[in-house]
Structure 1
Amino acid sequence: MNDYRKTFEEYVADSPRTSINIDDLVTRGRRSQLRRRLAVSSGALGLLAVAVLLGVSALKPSAGPPLPPAANSSASIVASESAASADPADRLLTALKSAFAREAPNVSGFDTLQRQMHKCNPDNPAVSQLVPYDAARLDEACPPDSLHRKGEYYAWRGTLTSPTGVYNVRLTIARTTHYDPATPPEDETGANERRIAAEQGDSPRRGPNGENILAKPYLLNMSKPDGTGIFIACEDKNGGPGAGERSPFTADQLTAVGLDPALHL
C-alpha cells in the first residue's frame, strides 16, 4: 500500500470502520494550523485526501499536463435534461449511471447504489456514520446545528462487478471550495505543499475547464469551478493485501466520469 492510500485510510476511512467525523474534518481543514500540521506529519498527499474529499482543496497544486475533455455524449446530456426537475439526488444518480455506462461498459452493479445519510452519535453529535438514507428520519438523525445537516451533500454506496472482480464503491457529490490548479500558492506553506506533492508524483491536474483533479484507478477527488465536489473510492470486496488499491476502473475512466457536464450541483 503506498503512502497516499495509507494516509487516506488513516484519516478518512469509510464509516463504520472509523469513528472519525468527516464533516468535522472539513471545518478543521479550513484552519491553516491543521493544514500546516497535516502537511508536516503526513505530507501533502494526506492533506489532499482529507481536504478535497471533504470539500476543502487546501492543497492548491501547480498545473500538470492538460487532461482530455469529458465526452459530451448525447446520452449524458439527455439524461441530465430529463432529470433536471427531479430531486437533486435522483438527477445526480441518473447522471452518474449514464457516465459510468459510457466510460466503463464492462462494469455492472450500479443498480446496487444506495443513498446514504449521516447519523450522529447521540452522546457525541460531532461523530457520525453513514447509514442508508431515510427521509422520514433525516431530521432526527443529527442535531439541527450539526455540520452533518448541511445541504447539498449526496452520497451512495454499492457493490460493482467487472471481469476483474467484485468491488465496494462509495460516491459523494457535495458543495466544495474550488481552487484552480493554475492559481499561484497563497503563501510559503502552500508552495511547500505543492512541492511535496510534485516530488511524490501526486500533484492534482487542471481539467479542461479549470477543474482540480486528483485521479487514481481506485480514487477520484475532483472540484469544479462551480463548487461541485466529486469523490469516488473503490476497494476490492474480498480484501487482502492491496485491496484498497484495486478497482474496476482506470484513472482516465474515473476522470471522464467526473468531468461529465451533467454532474453539477
Structure 2
Amino acid sequence: MFVQALLVALVGIIATIDYNGPLFMIHRPLVTGTLTGLVLGDMTQGVIIGSSLELMWLGVTGIGGYTPPDTISGAIVGTALGILSGQGATAGIAIAVPVAVVTQQLDVLAKTADIAFVKKADAAAERGDISKIGLYQYASLGIIVLFKVVPIFLAVLVGGEYVQSLFDMIPDVVMKGLNVAGGLLPAIGFGMLLNMMLKKKMWVFLLVGFIASAFLGMSTIGITFVGVAVAYLTVMMGNGFGSETPAPVAAQTESASNDDDEVYDL
C-alpha cells in the first residue's frame, strides 16, 4: 500500500507540474483518473471515474485571482478511494467534490507562501542576478507540489479502508441517490462550460451539435469530427478561403499597433 500511495503521489506531482508549466493536459481528470487506475491495478474504473469527473469539471478554470476547486487532488483522491473501497464511480465522485473544495484552500496557502519567492526574485532582478530568478521560480513550484502531493499520499495510504467501512454503513436508498447525483453532475459541468462559451454568435454551433445528436443519431466521435470541420470552415471563411492577397496596409499597421500595446501593457 505504501508503494501504491507513492506512485499515486507521483501522478499528482506530474499533473501539478503540467498545470503550472507546459499544460499538456496531463492534469485533466480524465488523464489523472486513468493513470491512478493504472497504478492501482484497475484502469477501467480509473477511466470511468476520471471521465465522469472530466465532464463535471469541464467549465472549471482559474480566471484572474480566482482559485478554482483543486481538480487534480479531487480527481486523484476520488479515483483512488473509489477503487480501493470497491464502490467505483459512486464513491469516486462523492469523494472527489469535497476533496477538491478542501484542497483548494491548500492551493491558496501554497501560493500565498510563494509570495516570499516573488520578493526574492524582485531583489535578484534589481541586482542583475538573472540566474536566481529561475531558481526562485522552481522553488515556488516545489511549494505548490508539496502542498498538493502530501494530502494525496496520506489519503491513499490511510483512507481506503475507512472509506470502504463508511460506505458499508450507508443505506441502499442513499447509495441510489448518490448514483443519481453522479449522473446529473456532468450536466452541471456542461452548463458551466456553455455559460462561459455560449455568446451571441455561438448558439448556432450548439444547435448543429444538438441536431447531429438528437435527429441524426451521431456518436460523440462523429459529432467531434463535425465540430472540427465546422471550425476549419469558419476559420477559412474568416481568412477569405486561403486567399494569398496581403492585408491592407492600414489593417497591418493597426495590428502592429495593437501588438505593441499588448507588449507594453505588461
TM-score normalized by structure 2? Answer: 0.26
Relative to total residues, which structure has the larger strand share, 1 or 2? 1
Relative to total residues, which structure has the larger helix share, 1 or 2? 2
Larger Rg: 2
